[in-house]
Amino acid sequence: MSTGVEMPRVEDCTVTRCSYNQNGCHAFAITVGSSDQARCHTFVESPVRGGLEMSVAQVGACQRHDCRHNSELECRAPGIQVGQETADCLTYAPA
Ligand code: SF4
């Protein structure tokens, strides 16, 4: 069953030490959160390669309700960028 809802794409992720990153994020969906920072909670360093070869990651959920792109704990931005040492959502914008 399709809901017809499109989730925002992770257009770019520069956190190359993450196991889901092979020329960008290939997780099926990520979660963004933390009370002090808009951080990618799907980030993981592991010897196991993560994600799906053909997929471009989407934002499945975001806990940063104070972001202007956030509505009902879902991201409504057209797409997001992730970067920095701490895998931050760089599209985060305080409302
Ligand atoms: S842009 Fe805002 S709502 Fe979207 S993932 Fe980043 S912090 Fe969450």
Residue 1: inside a domain, yes or no?
Answer: no
Q: Tell me the CA–centroid distance for residue 48 and ligand 1, in Å.
A: 27
Residue 89 lies in a domain: yes
**Number of structural domains in the chain:** 1
Q: pLDDT tens across 27-58, in order?
A: 999 999 988 999 999 999 999 999 998 888 99
pLDDT in tens, 6-27: 899 999 999 999 999 999 999 9
DSSP letters spanning 41-85: TT----SS--S-TT---EEEEE--TTBTTEETTEE-SSEEEEETT
- Is residue 85 situated within a structural domain? yes
**Residue ranges lining ligand 1, Cβ < 6 Å:** 32, 38, 59, 62, 64, 67, 69-70, 75, 77, 80, 89, 91-92
Determine, yes or no, domain membership for 3: no
Is there a domain that residue 30 lies in?
yes
Asked whether residue 46 is assigned to any structural domain, the reply reads: yes
Q: Domain for residue 2, yes or no?
A: no
Domain that holds residue 70: 8-95
